Structure 1
Amino acid sequence: MTKFVDSAIVQKMCEVTRQSYERYWDERNGGNVSVRVLDEEVAGYEDNTAVIRSFELGFDASAIAGYYYLTTGTGRYFRNVFNQPTLDLGLVRISEDGRSADLLWGFEDGGKPTSEFPSHLMSHIERLKVNPDQRVVFHCHPTNVIALTFTQELDERHLSRLLWKMQAESLVVFPEGVGVIPYMTPGTTEIGAATAAKMGEYQAVIWPHHGLFASGVSLDETYGLVEVIEKAAMIFSQVSAQGGVIKQDITDHQLQELADAFGVTPHPGFLEV
Protein backbone atom coordinates (compact mmCIF):
# COMPACT_ATOMS: atom_id res chain seq x y z
CA MET A 1 0.00 0.00 0.00
CA THR A 2 2.90 2.35 -0.68
CA LYS A 3 0.69 4.85 -2.54
CA PHE A 4 -1.76 5.15 0.34
CA VAL A 5 0.33 8.10 1.53
CA ASP A 6 -1.24 10.08 -1.34
CA SER A 7 -4.80 9.36 -0.25
CA ALA A 8 -7.09 12.22 0.74
CA ILE A 9 -7.53 10.88 4.28
CA VAL A 10 -3.77 10.81 4.93
CA GLN A 11 -3.37 14.32 3.53
CA LYS A 12 -6.18 15.62 5.73
CA MET A 13 -4.65 13.95 8.78
CA CYS A 14 -1.34 15.67 8.01
CA GLU A 15 -3.10 19.01 7.70
CA VAL A 16 -5.12 18.71 10.91
CA THR A 17 -2.24 17.51 13.08
CA ARG A 18 -0.05 20.35 11.83
CA GLN A 19 -2.71 22.95 12.56
CA SER A 20 -3.32 21.49 16.00
CA TYR A 21 0.39 21.69 16.82
CA GLU A 22 0.58 25.27 15.59
CA ARG A 23 -2.26 26.23 17.93
CA TYR A 24 -0.30 24.80 20.91
CA TRP A 25 -2.88 22.06 21.45
CA ASP A 26 -0.34 19.26 21.05
CA GLU A 27 3.07 20.02 22.50
CA ARG A 28 5.92 17.53 22.14
CA ASN A 29 4.29 14.08 21.71
CA GLY A 30 1.00 15.16 23.29
CA GLY A 31 -2.25 14.42 21.49
CA ASN A 32 -3.47 11.67 19.19
CA VAL A 33 -6.04 11.20 16.45
CA SER A 34 -7.79 8.25 14.86
CA VAL A 35 -10.22 8.17 11.95
CA ARG A 36 -12.28 5.27 10.66
CA VAL A 37 -11.30 4.71 7.05
CA LEU A 38 -14.08 3.49 4.78
CA ASP A 39 -13.69 0.38 2.64
CA GLU A 40 -13.91 2.47 -0.52
CA GLU A 41 -11.06 4.66 0.72
CA VAL A 42 -8.83 1.61 1.02
CA ALA A 43 -9.97 -0.07 -2.19
CA GLY A 44 -7.74 0.59 -5.15
CA TYR A 45 -4.49 0.57 -3.20
CA GLU A 46 -2.44 -2.47 -4.01
CA ASP A 47 -1.83 -5.24 -1.51
CA ASN A 48 -4.38 -3.87 0.93
CA THR A 49 -4.67 -7.09 2.90
CA ALA A 50 -1.00 -7.85 3.66
CA VAL A 51 -0.38 -7.66 7.42
CA ILE A 52 2.95 -6.07 8.38
CA ARG A 53 2.61 -6.82 12.11
CA SER A 54 -0.08 -6.89 14.78
CA PHE A 55 -0.73 -5.11 18.08
CA GLU A 56 -2.67 -6.38 21.07
CA LEU A 57 -5.51 -4.07 22.11
CA GLY A 58 -6.05 -5.21 25.69
CA PHE A 59 -9.84 -5.28 25.40
CA ASP A 60 -12.61 -6.76 23.25
CA ALA A 61 -13.12 -4.62 20.14
CA SER A 62 -15.13 -7.25 18.26
CA ALA A 63 -17.94 -4.71 17.78
CA ILE A 64 -15.75 -3.05 15.15
CA ALA A 65 -14.02 -6.17 13.79
CA GLY A 66 -12.82 -5.66 10.24
CA TYR A 67 -12.93 -1.86 10.46
CA TYR A 68 -9.97 0.19 9.26
CA TYR A 69 -8.49 3.03 11.32
CA LEU A 70 -5.80 5.56 10.49
CA THR A 71 -4.08 6.57 13.71
CA THR A 72 -1.17 8.60 14.96
CA GLY A 73 1.70 6.73 16.61
CA THR A 74 2.87 6.52 20.17
CA GLY A 75 5.59 8.96 21.15
CA ARG A 76 5.21 10.88 17.87
CA TYR A 77 5.21 14.65 17.54
CA PHE A 78 2.32 16.28 15.68
CA ARG A 79 4.72 18.83 14.21
CA ASN A 80 6.44 16.03 12.27
CA VAL A 81 3.43 14.19 10.81
CA PHE A 82 3.13 16.53 7.82
CA ASN A 83 6.66 15.75 6.64
CA GLN A 84 6.87 12.05 7.56
CA PRO A 85 3.40 10.49 7.50
CA THR A 86 4.70 7.02 6.66
CA LEU A 87 6.55 7.01 9.98
CA ASP A 88 4.09 8.78 12.26
CA LEU A 89 0.79 7.38 10.94
CA GLY A 90 -0.45 3.82 10.59
CA LEU A 91 -3.44 2.19 8.91
CA VAL A 92 -4.71 -0.77 10.92
CA ARG A 93 -7.57 -3.24 10.61
CA ILE A 94 -9.28 -4.63 13.71
CA SER A 95 -8.96 -8.42 13.83
CA GLU A 96 -11.97 -10.69 13.59
CA ASP A 97 -11.80 -11.60 17.27
CA GLY A 98 -11.42 -7.93 18.23
CA ARG A 99 -8.35 -8.57 20.33
CA SER A 100 -5.69 -7.08 18.07
CA ALA A 101 -5.08 -4.60 15.27
CA ASP A 102 -3.23 -5.55 12.09
CA LEU A 103 -0.92 -2.94 10.57
CA LEU A 104 -1.41 -2.62 6.80
CA TRP A 105 0.50 0.62 6.11
CA GLY A 106 2.71 3.13 7.89
CA PHE A 107 4.87 3.07 11.05
CA GLU A 108 7.72 2.18 8.72
CA ASP A 109 10.36 2.64 11.42
CA GLY A 110 8.79 0.06 13.72
CA GLY A 111 6.34 2.35 15.48
CA LYS A 112 2.95 1.42 16.82
CA PRO A 113 -0.40 3.12 17.49
CA THR A 114 -0.77 5.75 20.18
CA SER A 115 -0.98 4.43 23.74
CA GLU A 116 -4.47 5.93 23.79
CA PHE A 117 -5.59 3.79 20.83
CA PRO A 118 -7.72 1.44 22.98
CA SER A 119 -9.40 4.53 24.49
CA HIS A 120 -10.05 5.80 20.96
CA LEU A 121 -11.59 2.51 19.87
CA MET A 122 -13.83 2.36 22.96
CA SER A 123 -15.11 5.83 22.10
CA HIS A 124 -15.52 4.91 18.42
CA ILE A 125 -17.69 1.97 19.47
CA GLU A 126 -19.92 4.14 21.64
CA ARG A 127 -20.25 6.98 19.13
CA LEU A 128 -21.22 4.54 16.38
CA LYS A 129 -24.23 3.61 18.51
CA VAL A 130 -25.24 7.28 18.53
CA ASN A 131 -24.38 8.05 14.92
CA PRO A 132 -23.39 5.40 12.35
CA ASP A 133 -21.52 8.11 10.42
CA GLN A 134 -19.14 8.63 13.38
CA ARG A 135 -15.56 8.42 12.14
CA VAL A 136 -13.15 10.53 14.21
CA VAL A 137 -11.76 10.66 17.74
CA PHE A 138 -9.41 13.55 18.47
CA HIS A 139 -7.44 13.98 21.69
CA CYS A 140 -5.57 17.22 22.36
CA HIS A 141 -4.47 19.61 25.11
CA PRO A 142 -6.27 22.96 24.60
CA THR A 143 -4.72 25.43 27.04
CA ASN A 144 -7.81 27.30 28.17
CA VAL A 145 -9.96 24.19 28.54
CA ILE A 146 -7.31 22.65 30.79
CA ALA A 147 -7.10 25.89 32.80
CA LEU A 148 -10.85 25.72 33.50
CA THR A 149 -10.38 22.38 35.25
CA PHE A 150 -8.16 24.04 37.87
CA THR A 151 -10.53 26.89 38.72
CA GLN A 152 -14.03 25.53 38.09
CA GLU A 153 -16.20 22.85 39.62
CA LEU A 154 -15.79 19.64 37.63
CA ASP A 155 -19.50 19.39 36.94
CA GLU A 156 -20.92 18.81 33.46
CA ARG A 157 -23.87 21.16 33.86
CA HIS A 158 -21.72 23.95 35.27
CA LEU A 159 -19.00 23.72 32.63
CA SER A 160 -21.46 23.31 29.76
CA ARG A 161 -23.43 26.38 30.81
CA LEU A 162 -20.25 28.40 31.29
CA LEU A 163 -19.04 27.54 27.80
CA TRP A 164 -22.46 28.11 26.20
CA LYS A 165 -22.71 31.58 27.71
CA MET A 166 -19.33 32.74 26.42
CA GLN A 167 -20.41 32.88 22.76
CA ALA A 168 -23.58 32.23 20.80
CA GLU A 169 -22.14 29.49 18.57
CA SER A 170 -21.25 27.21 21.49
CA LEU A 171 -24.79 25.97 22.07
CA VAL A 172 -25.31 25.46 18.35
CA VAL A 173 -22.12 23.41 17.94
CA PHE A 174 -22.33 21.30 21.11
CA PRO A 175 -25.93 21.48 22.39
CA GLU A 176 -25.45 18.34 24.49
CA GLY A 177 -22.76 20.17 26.47
CA VAL A 178 -19.46 18.63 27.54
CA GLY A 179 -18.81 15.49 29.53
CA VAL A 180 -16.29 15.34 32.37
CA ILE A 181 -14.49 12.37 33.93
CA PRO A 182 -12.44 12.38 37.15
CA TYR A 183 -8.69 12.81 36.85
CA MET A 184 -7.27 9.43 35.78
CA THR A 185 -3.96 8.07 34.56
CA PRO A 186 -3.84 8.35 30.76
CA GLY A 187 -3.03 5.44 28.47
CA THR A 188 -5.07 2.91 30.46
CA THR A 189 -8.15 0.88 29.62
CA GLU A 190 -9.78 2.40 32.73
CA ILE A 191 -9.66 5.94 31.36
CA GLY A 192 -10.79 4.62 28.00
CA ALA A 193 -13.83 2.94 29.52
CA ALA A 194 -14.72 6.03 31.57
CA THR A 195 -14.46 8.26 28.49
CA ALA A 196 -16.45 5.89 26.31
CA ALA A 197 -19.24 5.81 28.90
CA LYS A 198 -19.54 9.58 28.52
CA MET A 199 -19.29 9.43 24.72
CA GLY A 200 -22.71 7.84 24.59
CA GLU A 201 -24.08 11.20 25.70
CA TYR A 202 -21.48 13.80 24.70
CA GLN A 203 -19.35 14.46 21.61
CA ALA A 204 -16.62 15.98 23.76
CA VAL A 205 -15.28 14.82 27.12
CA ILE A 206 -12.90 16.82 29.31
CA TRP A 207 -10.01 15.06 31.00
CA PRO A 208 -9.29 17.32 34.01
CA HIS A 209 -5.77 18.80 34.14
CA HIS A 210 -4.97 16.98 30.90
CA GLY A 211 -7.05 17.75 27.84
CA LEU A 212 -10.06 16.98 25.71
CA PHE A 213 -11.45 13.96 23.85
CA ALA A 214 -13.67 15.00 20.93
CA SER A 215 -15.53 13.05 18.27
CA GLY A 216 -17.24 13.73 14.96
CA VAL A 217 -18.10 12.49 11.49
CA SER A 218 -15.07 14.09 9.82
CA LEU A 219 -11.69 15.50 10.74
CA ASP A 220 -12.87 18.99 9.85
CA GLU A 221 -16.01 18.76 11.98
CA THR A 222 -14.16 17.32 14.97
CA TYR A 223 -11.38 19.88 14.75
CA GLY A 224 -14.05 22.57 14.54
CA LEU A 225 -15.73 21.24 17.68
CA VAL A 226 -12.46 21.58 19.58
CA GLU A 227 -12.00 25.10 18.16
CA VAL A 228 -15.36 26.24 19.46
CA ILE A 229 -14.93 24.71 22.92
CA GLU A 230 -11.44 26.17 23.28
CA LYS A 231 -12.58 29.60 21.98
CA ALA A 232 -15.33 29.70 24.62
CA ALA A 233 -12.82 28.74 27.32
CA MET A 234 -10.44 31.41 26.01
CA ILE A 235 -13.15 34.08 26.25
CA PHE A 236 -13.77 33.07 29.86
CA SER A 237 -10.03 33.32 30.52
CA GLN A 238 -10.05 36.85 29.08
CA VAL A 239 -13.07 37.80 31.19
CA SER A 240 -11.27 36.50 34.26
CA ALA A 241 -8.13 38.45 33.31
CA GLN A 242 -10.26 41.60 33.11
CA GLY A 243 -11.42 41.16 36.68
CA GLY A 244 -13.99 38.42 36.28
CA VAL A 245 -16.99 40.67 36.84
CA ILE A 246 -19.65 39.72 34.28
CA LYS A 247 -22.09 42.62 33.88
CA GLN A 248 -24.14 40.91 31.18
CA ASP A 249 -24.22 37.52 29.51
CA ILE A 250 -26.43 35.34 27.33
CA THR A 251 -29.40 34.39 29.48
CA ASP A 252 -30.91 30.92 29.68
CA HIS A 253 -34.00 32.24 27.90
CA GLN A 254 -31.83 33.60 25.08
CA LEU A 255 -29.98 30.29 24.87
CA GLN A 256 -33.29 28.47 24.45
CA GLU A 257 -34.33 30.94 21.75
CA LEU A 258 -31.01 30.28 20.04
CA ALA A 259 -31.56 26.53 20.22
CA ASP A 260 -35.05 26.89 18.76
CA ALA A 261 -33.76 29.07 15.93
CA PHE A 262 -31.08 26.57 14.93
CA GLY A 263 -33.11 23.41 15.58
CA VAL A 264 -30.91 21.94 18.29
CA THR A 265 -31.87 20.49 21.67
CA PRO A 266 -29.90 21.57 24.74
CA HIS A 267 -28.97 18.88 27.25
CA PRO A 268 -32.08 18.23 29.39
CA GLY A 269 -31.90 20.05 32.71
CA PHE A 270 -28.96 22.27 31.81
CA LEU A 271 -31.04 25.39 31.11
CA GLU A 272 -33.32 27.12 33.63
CA VAL A 273 -36.29 27.92 31.40
Structure 2
Amino acid sequence: MKFIDSKFVKKMNEITNELYRHGWDERNGGNISLRLTQSEIDQYEDLNTTLRNIPIKFDASPLAGQYYLVTGTGRYFKNVHKYPERDTGLVRITDEGNSVDLLWGFNDGGQPTSEFPAHLMTHISRQKVDNNQRVVMHCHPTNLVALSFTHKLDEASISRLLWKMQAESLVVFPEGVGIIPYMTPGTNEIGQETADKMNEFRVVVWPHHGVFACGDNMDEVYGLIETVEKACMIYTAVRSQGNILQSITDDDLRDLAKSFNVIPNPEFLSMATVTG
Protein backbone atom coordinates (compact mmCIF):
# COMPACT_ATOMS: atom_id res chain seq x y z
CA MET A 1 0.00 0.00 0.00
CA LYS A 2 1.24 3.48 -0.85
CA PHE A 3 1.28 6.17 1.80
CA ILE A 4 -0.91 8.54 -0.22
CA ASP A 5 -3.75 6.05 0.27
CA SER A 6 -3.20 5.82 4.03
CA LYS A 7 -5.78 6.76 6.65
CA PHE A 8 -3.37 9.43 7.89
CA VAL A 9 -3.24 11.30 4.59
CA LYS A 10 -7.00 10.94 4.15
CA LYS A 11 -7.65 12.35 7.61
CA MET A 12 -5.24 15.23 6.98
CA ASN A 13 -7.11 15.97 3.74
CA GLU A 14 -10.45 15.95 5.57
CA ILE A 15 -9.41 18.09 8.54
CA THR A 16 -7.56 20.75 6.54
CA ASN A 17 -10.59 21.11 4.28
CA GLU A 18 -12.94 21.42 7.26
CA LEU A 19 -10.71 24.04 8.86
CA TYR A 20 -10.74 26.03 5.62
CA ARG A 21 -14.52 25.69 5.28
CA HIS A 22 -14.94 27.07 8.80
CA GLY A 23 -12.96 30.15 7.75
CA TRP A 24 -10.19 29.49 10.26
CA ASP A 25 -7.38 29.01 7.73
CA GLU A 26 -7.53 31.76 5.15
CA ARG A 27 -4.96 31.78 2.34
CA ASN A 28 -1.86 29.96 3.69
CA GLY A 29 -2.81 30.36 7.36
CA GLY A 30 -2.72 27.35 9.65
CA ASN A 31 -0.63 24.21 10.04
CA ILE A 32 -0.89 20.67 11.43
CA SER A 33 1.60 18.02 12.47
CA LEU A 34 0.89 14.37 13.33
CA ARG A 35 3.42 12.02 14.93
CA LEU A 36 3.42 8.50 13.50
CA THR A 37 4.87 5.37 15.10
CA GLN A 38 7.44 3.05 13.60
CA SER A 39 4.86 0.28 13.24
CA GLU A 40 2.57 2.63 11.33
CA ILE A 41 5.40 3.61 9.00
CA ASP A 42 6.36 -0.03 8.38
CA GLN A 43 2.99 -0.70 6.72
CA TYR A 44 3.89 1.33 3.62
CA GLU A 45 6.17 0.20 0.84
CA ASP A 46 7.17 3.64 -0.41
CA LEU A 47 8.72 5.05 2.79
CA ASN A 48 12.10 3.31 2.69
CA THR A 49 14.10 6.00 0.88
CA THR A 50 15.13 9.48 1.95
CA LEU A 51 14.09 11.83 -0.84
CA ARG A 52 16.08 14.79 0.51
CA ASN A 53 17.28 16.34 3.73
CA ILE A 54 15.71 19.60 4.94
CA PRO A 55 17.40 21.78 7.59
CA ILE A 56 15.26 23.12 10.45
CA LYS A 57 16.02 26.10 12.68
CA PHE A 58 15.64 24.27 15.97
CA ASP A 59 17.44 21.54 17.90
CA ALA A 60 14.87 18.75 17.76
CA SER A 61 17.27 16.05 18.99
CA PRO A 62 14.88 15.05 21.85
CA LEU A 63 12.60 13.83 19.06
CA ALA A 64 15.33 12.10 17.03
CA GLY A 65 13.99 9.23 14.92
CA GLN A 66 10.35 10.29 15.22
CA TYR A 67 8.11 10.62 12.17
CA TYR A 68 5.78 13.53 11.45
CA LEU A 69 3.18 14.12 8.76
CA VAL A 70 3.14 17.91 8.46
CA THR A 71 1.57 20.57 6.27
CA GLY A 72 3.87 22.64 4.08
CA THR A 73 4.96 26.23 4.33
CA GLY A 74 2.99 28.66 2.19
CA ARG A 75 0.31 26.08 1.35
CA TYR A 76 -3.42 26.77 1.22
CA PHE A 77 -5.58 24.44 3.29
CA LYS A 78 -8.30 24.64 0.62
CA ASN A 79 -5.94 22.77 -1.72
CA VAL A 80 -4.49 20.05 0.52
CA HIS A 81 -7.21 17.51 -0.26
CA LYS A 82 -6.58 18.00 -3.98
CA TYR A 83 -2.77 17.94 -3.83
CA PRO A 84 -1.77 16.03 -0.67
CA GLU A 85 1.60 14.87 -2.05
CA ARG A 86 2.49 18.46 -2.86
CA ASP A 87 1.12 20.28 0.18
CA THR A 88 2.03 17.82 2.95
CA GLY A 89 5.10 15.75 3.72
CA LEU A 90 6.22 12.89 5.93
CA VAL A 91 9.55 13.59 7.64
CA ARG A 92 11.84 11.86 10.11
CA ILE A 93 13.82 13.88 12.65
CA THR A 94 17.54 13.17 12.18
CA ASP A 95 19.76 12.01 15.04
CA GLU A 96 21.47 15.40 15.08
CA GLY A 97 18.07 17.10 15.40
CA ASN A 98 18.91 20.07 13.16
CA SER A 99 17.26 18.67 10.03
CA VAL A 100 14.63 16.22 8.82
CA ASP A 101 14.72 13.48 6.21
CA LEU A 102 11.82 13.72 3.75
CA LEU A 103 10.29 10.29 3.09
CA TRP A 104 7.15 11.30 1.21
CA GLY A 105 5.43 14.41 -0.14
CA PHE A 106 6.52 18.01 -0.82
CA ASN A 107 7.03 16.78 -4.37
CA ASP A 108 7.46 20.26 -5.80
CA GLY A 109 10.43 21.09 -3.58
CA GLY A 110 8.44 22.37 -0.61
CA GLN A 111 9.23 22.00 3.07
CA PRO A 112 7.43 21.90 6.44
CA THR A 113 5.46 24.87 7.75
CA SER A 114 7.45 27.80 9.11
CA GLU A 115 5.82 27.02 12.46
CA PHE A 116 7.35 23.52 12.49
CA PRO A 117 9.86 24.41 15.26
CA ALA A 118 6.90 25.60 17.39
CA HIS A 119 5.14 22.31 16.68
CA LEU A 120 8.19 20.28 17.65
CA MET A 121 8.63 22.25 20.88
CA THR A 122 5.00 21.52 21.74
CA HIS A 123 5.45 17.84 20.88
CA ILE A 124 8.41 17.72 23.28
CA SER A 125 6.33 19.28 26.06
CA ARG A 126 3.21 17.18 25.54
CA GLN A 127 5.05 13.87 25.25
CA LYS A 128 6.27 14.45 28.79
CA VAL A 129 2.69 15.03 29.94
CA ASP A 130 0.94 12.32 27.90
CA ASN A 131 2.77 10.30 25.25
CA ASN A 132 -0.53 9.43 23.55
CA GLN A 133 -0.92 13.03 22.41
CA ARG A 134 0.59 13.28 18.97
CA VAL A 135 -1.26 16.02 17.07
CA VAL A 136 -0.52 19.74 17.10
CA MET A 137 -2.88 22.09 15.23
CA HIS A 138 -2.67 25.83 14.61
CA CYS A 139 -5.48 27.90 13.09
CA HIS A 140 -7.25 31.27 13.32
CA PRO A 141 -10.77 30.85 14.82
CA THR A 142 -12.56 34.13 14.12
CA ASN A 143 -14.47 34.73 17.36
CA LEU A 144 -11.59 33.59 19.57
CA VAL A 145 -9.24 36.01 17.84
CA ALA A 146 -11.84 38.77 18.22
CA LEU A 147 -12.17 38.02 21.93
CA SER A 148 -8.44 38.62 22.36
CA PHE A 149 -9.00 42.24 21.28
CA THR A 150 -11.96 42.97 23.56
CA HIS A 151 -11.31 40.98 26.73
CA LYS A 152 -8.56 41.23 29.31
CA LEU A 153 -5.89 38.65 28.46
CA ASP A 154 -6.21 36.78 31.73
CA GLU A 155 -6.28 32.98 31.66
CA ALA A 156 -8.65 32.55 34.60
CA SER A 157 -11.08 35.18 33.38
CA ILE A 158 -11.24 33.92 29.79
CA SER A 159 -11.37 30.25 30.82
CA ARG A 160 -14.27 30.90 33.19
CA LEU A 161 -16.05 32.94 30.53
CA LEU A 162 -15.78 30.11 28.01
CA TRP A 163 -16.86 27.51 30.58
CA LYS A 164 -19.99 29.56 31.30
CA MET A 165 -21.04 29.93 27.67
CA GLN A 166 -21.99 26.26 27.27
CA ALA A 167 -21.94 23.08 29.35
CA GLU A 168 -19.59 21.34 26.89
CA SER A 169 -16.71 23.72 27.54
CA LEU A 170 -15.85 22.59 31.07
CA VAL A 171 -16.15 18.95 30.04
CA VAL A 172 -13.93 19.31 26.96
CA PHE A 173 -11.22 21.60 28.39
CA PRO A 174 -11.44 21.48 32.21
CA GLU A 175 -7.89 22.79 32.53
CA GLY A 176 -8.99 26.00 30.78
CA VAL A 177 -6.99 27.82 28.14
CA GLY A 178 -3.48 29.20 28.26
CA ILE A 179 -2.57 32.61 26.88
CA ILE A 180 0.79 34.00 25.79
CA PRO A 181 1.60 37.65 25.03
CA TYR A 182 1.36 38.84 21.46
CA MET A 183 4.54 37.71 19.69
CA THR A 184 5.81 37.57 16.12
CA PRO A 185 4.73 34.26 14.53
CA GLY A 186 7.16 31.91 12.86
CA THR A 187 9.87 32.42 15.46
CA ASN A 188 11.46 30.06 17.96
CA GLU A 189 10.58 32.54 20.69
CA ILE A 190 6.83 32.16 20.21
CA GLY A 191 7.33 28.42 19.88
CA GLN A 192 9.08 28.16 23.23
CA GLU A 193 6.54 30.39 24.96
CA THR A 194 3.77 28.18 23.59
CA ALA A 195 5.53 24.95 24.54
CA ASP A 196 5.99 26.20 28.10
CA LYS A 197 2.23 26.82 28.35
CA MET A 198 1.59 23.36 26.89
CA ASN A 199 2.96 21.87 30.10
CA GLU A 200 -0.39 22.90 31.65
CA PHE A 201 -2.86 23.41 28.79
CA ARG A 202 -3.92 21.69 25.56
CA VAL A 203 -5.15 25.00 24.11
CA VAL A 204 -2.92 28.08 23.96
CA VAL A 205 -4.27 31.37 22.61
CA TRP A 206 -2.02 33.53 20.46
CA PRO A 207 -3.67 36.94 21.00
CA HIS A 208 -4.78 38.79 17.86
CA HIS A 209 -3.68 35.80 15.79
CA GLY A 210 -5.03 32.33 16.55
CA VAL A 211 -4.65 29.22 18.64
CA PHE A 212 -2.33 26.25 19.17
CA ALA A 213 -3.93 23.01 20.35
CA CYS A 214 -2.87 19.41 20.84
CA GLY A 215 -4.32 15.98 21.53
CA ASP A 216 -4.39 12.29 20.68
CA ASN A 217 -5.75 12.49 17.14
CA MET A 218 -6.88 15.03 14.55
CA ASP A 219 -10.60 14.63 15.25
CA GLU A 220 -10.05 15.26 18.95
CA VAL A 221 -7.93 18.38 18.43
CA TYR A 222 -10.29 19.73 15.78
CA GLY A 223 -13.19 19.18 18.19
CA LEU A 224 -11.28 20.86 21.01
CA ILE A 225 -10.75 24.01 18.94
CA GLU A 226 -14.32 23.83 17.67
CA THR A 227 -15.64 23.77 21.25
CA VAL A 228 -13.55 26.78 22.28
CA GLU A 229 -14.66 28.70 19.20
CA LYS A 230 -18.33 27.77 19.73
CA ALA A 231 -18.17 29.24 23.24
CA CYS A 232 -16.69 32.43 21.77
CA MET A 233 -19.44 32.51 19.13
CA ILE A 234 -22.11 32.25 21.84
CA TYR A 235 -20.47 35.08 23.77
CA THR A 236 -20.38 37.21 20.62
CA ALA A 237 -24.09 36.55 20.05
CA VAL A 238 -24.96 37.25 23.69
CA ARG A 239 -23.17 40.58 23.70
CA SER A 240 -24.83 41.59 20.43
CA GLN A 241 -28.27 40.90 21.94
CA GLY A 242 -27.74 43.14 24.98
CA ASN A 243 -27.22 42.73 28.70
CA ILE A 244 -26.62 39.28 30.21
CA LEU A 245 -29.60 38.53 32.49
CA GLN A 246 -28.66 35.02 33.63
CA SER A 247 -25.81 32.57 33.22
CA ILE A 248 -24.26 29.28 34.29
CA THR A 249 -23.06 29.79 37.88
CA ASP A 250 -19.96 28.53 39.66
CA ASP A 251 -22.11 26.01 41.51
CA ASP A 252 -23.50 24.84 38.17
CA LEU A 253 -19.91 24.31 36.98
CA ARG A 254 -19.12 22.29 40.09
CA ASP A 255 -22.16 20.08 39.57
CA LEU A 256 -21.17 19.64 35.93
CA ALA A 257 -17.63 18.63 36.88
CA LYS A 258 -18.94 16.03 39.35
CA SER A 259 -21.45 14.63 36.86
CA PHE A 260 -18.85 14.22 34.10
CA ASN A 261 -15.99 13.25 36.42
CA VAL A 262 -13.65 16.03 35.33
CA ILE A 263 -11.43 18.20 37.51
CA PRO A 264 -11.54 21.93 36.72
CA ASN A 265 -8.34 23.90 36.99
CA PRO A 266 -8.30 24.66 40.76
CA GLU A 267 -6.74 28.07 40.09
CA PHE A 268 -9.82 29.00 38.04
CA LEU A 269 -12.59 27.23 39.99
CA SER A 270 -12.59 25.85 43.52
CA MET A 271 -14.67 22.70 43.92
CA ALA A 272 -15.75 23.86 47.37
CA THR A 273 -19.37 24.97 47.25
CA VAL A 274 -19.91 28.47 48.56
CA THR A 275 -22.97 28.77 50.83
CA GLY A 276 -24.58 31.55 52.78
- TM-score, with normalisation over the residues of structure 2? 0.96
CA–CA distance in structure 2, aligned partners of residues 220 and 49 of structure 1: 28
CA–CA distance in structure 2, aligned partners of residues 44 and 200 of structure 1: 32
RMSD value, Cα: 1.0
CA–CA distance in structure 1, aligned partners of residues 31 and 87 of structure 2: 11
Deviations 1:184-203 (A, max 9, x none): 00000000000000000000
Which amino acid in the other structure matches residue 66 of structure 1?
Answer: G
Which amino acid in the other structure matches residue 110 of structure 1?
Answer: G
Q: After TM superposition, give the deviation of residue 47 of structure 1 in Å.
A: 4.4
Moved over 3 A (4+): none
CA–CA distance in structure 1, aligned partners of residues 173 and 13 of structure 2: 25
Q: In the alignment, what sits opposite 2:268?
A: 270
Deviates more, 1:20-29 or 1:92-101: 92-101
Q: In the alignment, what sits opposite 1:246?
A: 244
CA–CA distance in structure 2, aligned partners of residues 260 and 56 of structure 1: 49
Unaligned runs of 5+ in 2: none
Q: After TM superposition, give the deviation of residue 48 of structure 1 in Å.
A: 2.2
CA–CA distance in structure 2, aligned partners of residues 142 and 236 of structure 1: 14
Q: In the alignment, what sits opposite 2:157?
A: 158
Deviations 1:131-153 (A, max 9, x none): 11011000000000000000000
CA–CA distance in structure 1, aligned partners of residues 254 and 222 of structure 2: 25
Query: What secondary structure is seen at the aligned counterpart in 1 of 2:53?
Result: strand
Between the two proteins, the alignment pairs up a number of residues equal to: 271
Deviations 1:7-63 (A, max 9, x none): 000000000000110000100000000000122221132242311122222222111
CA–CA distance in structure 2, aligned partners of residues 96 and 81 of structure 1: 29
Q: In the alignment, what sits opposite 1:127?
A: 126
Deviates more, 1:248-257 or 1:138-147: 248-257
- Sequence identity percentage: 61
Query: What secondary structure is seen at the aligned counterpart in 2 of 1:114?
Result: coil
Q: In the alignment, what sits opposite 2:187?
A: 188
Q: In the alignment, what sits opposite 1:59?
A: 58
Deviations 1:114-172 (A, max 9, x none): 00000001001101111110110000000000000000000100110010000001000
CA–CA distance in structure 2, aligned partners of residues 66 and 46 of structure 1: 18
CA–CA distance in structure 1, aligned partners of residues 34 and 16 of structure 2: 12
Which amino acid in the other structure matches residue 78 of structure 2?
Answer: R
Q: In the alignment, what sits opposite 1:258?
A: 256
Unaligned runs of 5+ in 1: none
Deviates more, 1:113-122 or 1:249-258: 249-258
Deviations 1:237-258 (A, max 9, x none): 0011112x11111111110111
**Would you say 1:32 and 2:31 are equivalent positions?**
yes
CA–CA distance in structure 2, aligned partners of residues 130 and 144 of structure 1: 29
Which amino acid in the other structure matches residue 258 of structure 2?
Answer: D
Deviations 1:100-123 (A, max 9, x none): 111110000000000000000100
Q: After TM superposition, give the deviation of residue 97 of structure 1 in Å.
A: 1.7
Query: What secondary structure is seen at the aligned counterpart in 2 of 1:166?
Result: coil
- TM-score, with normalisation over the residues of structure 1? 0.97
